[in-house]
Amino acid sequence: MDELELIFENATRSAIFTNREVLRPDYIPDQLPHRGNEIRKVAMVMATALQGVRPSNLFIYGLTGTGKTAVAKYVLKRLSAKAERSVKRVKWIYINTRIENTSYRVLAHIAEGLGLKIPFTGLSTSEVYRRIINRLNSDSVILILVLDEIDFMVRKEGDEILYRLSRVNEDLSSSKVTIVGITNDIRFIESLDPRVKSSLGEEELVFPPYNASQLEDILSERAKLAFRPGALGDGVIPLCAALAAREHGDARRALDLLRVAGEVAEREGADVVSEDHVHRAYNELERDRAVEVISTLPLHSKIVLYTIYRSVGDTPPTTGEVYVKYRELCQRMGLEPVTQRRVSDIISELDMLGLVNATIINRGRYGKTRILLPTIQRDVVLSALENDPYISMF
């Protein structure tokens, strides 16, 4: 066997995985462990469609990786399968408004889902809306619209499409439309126009985060499909679950961790995934995330981040101290520094991105400030910053 043949063989035949696709975030399993209550609730709300009655609009809230999307898709898939054998026709369209992030694209997506041909530009949004209405009126169907990550669209476009969609039934005679909104931002609901809020939230459902033992069940379930028998070390799944549980019980993170751990093991030619592989996978994921986030930061945010991480070892700096160092650095780099007010906002942004930990403290006579603690390994941050041509010049 020649060298290339060997490489290709190794790529196709894994000592670790039988099917790694089932560990990817967009995979929808047949079983959704520990979401029985949620599945039942969604199903009960949606079931009226089978009697030809419009289901109530539903609002689903829950942190990332709590199974919101998976449950919604799962129930609706089952529902439409059941409906094929009933009198009333039920149709559902899934839209991720983080991707279809303008009202035009959302409407165009709906129109396409109804079998209409819509150019990606050229029509006004009201024209697309009109065509959707016409189509629905010439048909008799219960249409369930799933708007995932609905907060993204509203942040960008305002809630006027939601208002329009929530009242679409007033323009319809034979067909009916139900809206299922999904978000992980709880404050988002409060920011809505009260009319939209009451209409969209006819039914509400909160998805609690998974705890460590529930994550273990989810991982075990998938691992059966993903890994070769015996390819997983004993402590691997509990460890992945524990690490992910620490980060708000995010099942997606847990699955990523398990998959990457498998890939790390595979890369080194091990035939069993060990706990050590999990730790390395954890670092790798954290590193990737940090590099990704840091590389897209504006220049001055990078400089502020740099001053915070450079001073590790001394006592944790306050906003004022960081600002002084930041100004020095700007001068050395020949850049105009931004104001302290702006740096204050930059620090808040870095805090929200999880790149630093900013805690407000009151030192009485010595004022109120924030102390900045690093949250990530220093070399990860510094090497990510090196990628910036400006910064690497020092």
Q: Using CB under 7 A as the criterion, which residues of the chain lie in contact with DNA when the complex forms?
A: 102, 104, 121, 124-125, 156-157, 298-301, 318-321, 323, 336-342, 344-348, 360, 362-370
User: Looking up tokens 């549980």, which residue turns up?
Assistant: 245
Q: Following DSSP, what letter does each residue of 29-92 receive, concatenated?
A: -S--TT-HHHHHHHHHHHGGGGGTPPPPPEEEEE-TTSSHHHHHHHHHHHHHHHHTTSSSEEEE
The tokens of 274 are what? Answer: 């060990």
Q: How far is the CB of 155 from DNA (least distance, A)?
A: 8
Q: How far is the CB of 306 from DNA (least distance, A)?
A: 14
Helix axes 275-295, 378-386, angle to 10 degrees: 40
- Decide: residue 194, CB within 10 A, 0-12 exposed, 13-18 middle, 19+ buried: exposed
Number of residues that make up the chain:
394
Q: Following DSSP, what letter does each residue of 156-223 receive, concatenated?
A: HH-SHHHHHHHTGGGG-SS-EEEEEEEES-HHHHHHS-HHHHHHHTSEEEEEPPP-HHHHHHHHHHHH
Contact (Cβ atoms closer than 8 angstroms) between residue 236 and residue 274 = yes
Q: How far is the CB of 124 from DNA (least distance, A)?
A: 5
Q: How far is the CB of 15 from DNA (least distance, A)?
A: 44
Q: Which is nearer to DNA, 149 or 216 (CB)?
A: 149
Q: How far is the CB of 364 from DNA (least distance, A)?
A: 2
Q: How far is the CB of 324 from DNA (least distance, A)?
A: 8
Q: Which is nearer to DNA, 74 or 104 (CB)?
A: 104
Contact (Cβ atoms closer than 8 angstroms) between residue 162 and residue 154 = yes
Q: Which is nearer to DNA, 4 or 366 (CB)?
A: 366
Q: Which is nearer to DNA, 149 or 263 (CB)?
A: 149
Q: How far is the CB of 387 from DNA (least distance, A)?
A: 17
Q: How far is the CB of 349 from DNA (least distance, A)?
A: 8
Contact (Cβ atoms closer than 8 angstroms) between residue 242 and residue 250 = no
Q: Which is nearer to DNA, 29 or 298 (CB)?
A: 298
Q: Which is nearer to DNA, 13 or 366 (CB)?
A: 366
Q: Which is nearer to DNA, 271 or 345 (CB)?
A: 345
Q: Which is nearer to DNA, 157 or 247 (CB)?
A: 157
The beta-strand segments (E) located in 97-175 are 141-148
Residue 310 to residue 295: CA distance in whole angstroms: 17
